[in-house]
Amino acid sequence: MLTALAGGVGGSKLLLGLKYEMNGVGTAVVNTADDEEFFGLHVSPDIDTVIYTLSGLADESKGWGIRGDTFHTLEMLGRLGCETWFKLGDRDLAIHIYRTMRLRAGASLTEVTAEIAERLGAGWKILPMTDDRVRTWIETLEGPMPFQTYFVKRGAADRVVSIEYRGVERARPSREVVQALKESDAVIICPSNPFLSIEPILRLEGVRTLLRQMDGVVLAVSPIVGGRALKGPAAKIMADLGMEPSPASVAELYRDFLDIMVLDRVDAHYVDEISSMGIKTVITDTIMNSLDEKRALARRCLEAVGII
Ligand code: FO1
C-alpha cells in the first residue's frame, strides 16, 4: 500500500505520475486547511486541484480550476456587489454546490470527496486529511488574515511572521487516513508547500507519531529547486521565517520521520548536509511539466521506497 501526502498544484503533478505508475492503486491524503467558504459554499481548493488533475479536467496553465471554464455566475455576483477576487468558474461552482449540499445533508467531507472523485473519474483514492474544521491563518506585518486572503486577494505579498492552523488541536485525522497510514508500506510526501500543505496534516493528532513509528519508508520530494519553489510562495515564506529556501531546510522540517529525500540535480550540493541528518538522498530531475516527466519522477520515488 502506498499513501501520498499532498497539497494542491505541486502535489497533484506527482500524484498523477504515481496514479499511472501504480495502475490506480494508492491513496492521497490531502490538505484541507486552506478550505474557505465563498457565497455560503464550501470550497476545498487542494482537494479539487487533486481531483481535477487526476481526472484530466485541470486548467494546468493556471494551476487551479477547470480547463475552459467560464465565469458568468461570478460576473453576475460582481454586479450584485459581491467580492469576486476568488475566481470561481461556472463548472467549478457546481462542485462546491454539490459538496455544500451533501455536507448540509449530513455527509462527511470524506464521503463527499469520494463521491466527487469517483464521478469525475479521478481513478485514485483521495482522502481529506480530516473531517473537522482546520483553517490556516497567516500572521503578517499587516496583522492576521485567512490563508486565501493572504494568498489570492493580496497576492502573497505580505511579510509572513508566523502561521497558525486554527482548530488543529481539536481536529482528528479521519479513520480512513489513520487506516491508510497504518497499512502503508511507504509514504511519499509530495513536493507541496511544507508550511501550507504538509504541516497541517502533520499537526493532526497522531500523524507524526504514525510516520515516526512506520515499518515502511517515508520519502519526501523537495518542493524547493534551486532556491525557488516549484509553485507558490514556499521559498518566500521560508525566507520570511528566517530559513534558507533549500531542500536541506525542508529535510530539517521532516527529519524526525524522514528516510529519503529526493532532490533536483541543481541541488546536489545539499547531499552531505541532508545525509548528516541520517536521511538518504536521491538526485534526479524533479521539474514535472510533461506527463512523461511526472511518471519518471513517480517511478524514481517508487524505486527508492522499494515498491517497484
Ligand atoms: N488561486 C489563485 O491564485 N487565484 C484564484 O482566483 C483562485 C481561485 C480558485 C478557485 C477554486 C479553487 O479550487 C482554487 C482556486 N485557487 C485560486 C487556487 C487556490 O486558492 C490555491 O492554489 C490553493 O489554496 C493553494 O494550495
219-267 pLDDT, tens digit per residue, is 999 999 999 998 889 999 999 999 999 999 999 999 999 999 999 999 9
What pLDDT is attached to residue 185? Answer: 96
What pLDDT is attached to residue 258? Answer: 98
Atom in ligand 1 nearest the alpha carbon of residue 197: 26
Where do we find the cell 494508492?
26
The residue whose C-alpha atom lies closest to atom 26 belonging to ligand 1 is 8
Atom in ligand 1 nearest the alpha carbon of residue 49: 13
CA 118 vs CA 89, 110, 114, 124, 249: distances in Å: 21, 12, 6, 8, 37
Ligand 1, pocket-test mutation among 152, 153, 196, 231, most atoms within 8 A of CB:
152
163: cell is 502561521
| Homologous superfamily (CATH) for 2-133+169-305 | CofD-like domains (3.40.50.10680)
Cα dihedral across residues 252, 258, 264, 269: positive or negative = positive
- Say how far residue 291 (Cα) sits from the centre of its chain: 19
What pLDDT is attached to residue 308? Answer: 87
Distance CA 195, CA 202 (A): 10
Ligand 1, pocket-test mutation among 87, 98, 120, most atoms within 8 A of CB:
87
Phi-psi group of 39: left, alpha or beta (phi > 0 → left; psi -120 to 50 → alpha; rest → beta):
left
The residue whose C-alpha atom lies closest to atom 3 belonging to ligand 1 is 152
Atom in ligand 1 nearest the alpha carbon of residue 92: 11
- E-assigned strand segments in 116-245: 125-128, 135-140, 143-146, 160-166, 186-189, 217-221, 224-225, 228-229
Distance CA 86, CA 137 (A): 17
205: cell is 493528532
What pLDDT is attached to residue 66? Answer: 98
What pLDDT is attached to residue 63? Answer: 87
Cβ neighbourhood burial of 54 (10 Å; 0-12, 13-18, 19+):
buried
Element containing residue 75 per DSSP (H, E):
helix 72-79
What pLDDT is attached to residue 307? Answer: 94
267: cell is 541541488
- Crossing angle, helix 45-55 and helix 109-120, to 10 degrees? 20
Cα of 6 vs centre of ligand 1, distance in Å, is: 15
Cβ–ligand 1 contact at 35 (below 6 Å): no
Residues of the chain with pLDDT under 70: none
Distance CA 90, CA 70 (A): 6
Cα of 45 vs centre of ligand 1, distance in Å, is: 6
Tell me, letter by letter, the H, E, C secondary structure of 85-136.
CCCCCHHHHHHHHHHHHHHHCCCCHHHHHHHHHHHHCCCCEEEECECCCCEE
